[in-house]
Amino acid sequence: MKLVIAIVQDDDASNLIGKLNKESFRVTKLATTGGFLRAGNTTLLVGVEEEKVDRVIEIIKKLCESRKQVITSTTPVTGTTGVYVPYPVEISVGGATIFVVDVDRFEKI
C-alpha cells in the first residue's frame, strides 16, 4: 500500500478529485496554503495499491499542468519609506508536487 500526497492549485483540485473518484480512487482533501504566493492550495491524500500509483500520477499530470499567470507585485520605491509601486510579474502556477510514501498499516473502520 502506498500513500500519494499531491499538492495542487485550488483551481485544479475539483476536476482532479472528480477524475480520481470516477476511476474509483478515494481521495481526502485538505485545504492548505502555499508559502511563496500565500495562495490557496489543496493537498490530496490518495491511498492506493502499489501497482496503481503510476495511474494516479498520470491523472495528476494530465489535469494539473503548469501555466503562466500575471500577478501584481509591489516593490519599494528607492529612497522612500513605505511607498510601494505595483507592477505586473509573470509567474508559473499550477502543476503539482507529489510525494509517494509507504504505508505500513491501513485500516478502514
Rg (CA), the chain: 18
The pLDDT of residue 54: 98
Instruction: Give the pLDDT confidence of 34-74 residue by residue, as tens digits.
Output: 665 566 789 999 999 999 999 999 999 999 987 776 767 66
User: Residue 27 — pLDDT band, cuts 50, 70, 90?
Assistant: very high
| Residue of 13 and 39 predicted with greater confidence | 13
> What is the pTM assigned to this prediction?
0.75
From CA 67, how far away is CA 95, in angstroms rounded? 8
CATH class name, domain 2-66+94-102: alpha beta
DSSP bridge pairs for 43: 7, 30
Q: Which of 28, 37, 22 has the alpha carbon at shortest distance from 6?
A: 28
Instruction: Give the pLDDT confidence of 39-48 residue by residue, as tens digits.
Output: 678 999 999 9
- Domain segments of the chain: what residues? 2-66+94-102
The pLDDT of residue 72: 73
From CA 95, how far away is CA 98, in angstroms rounded? 10
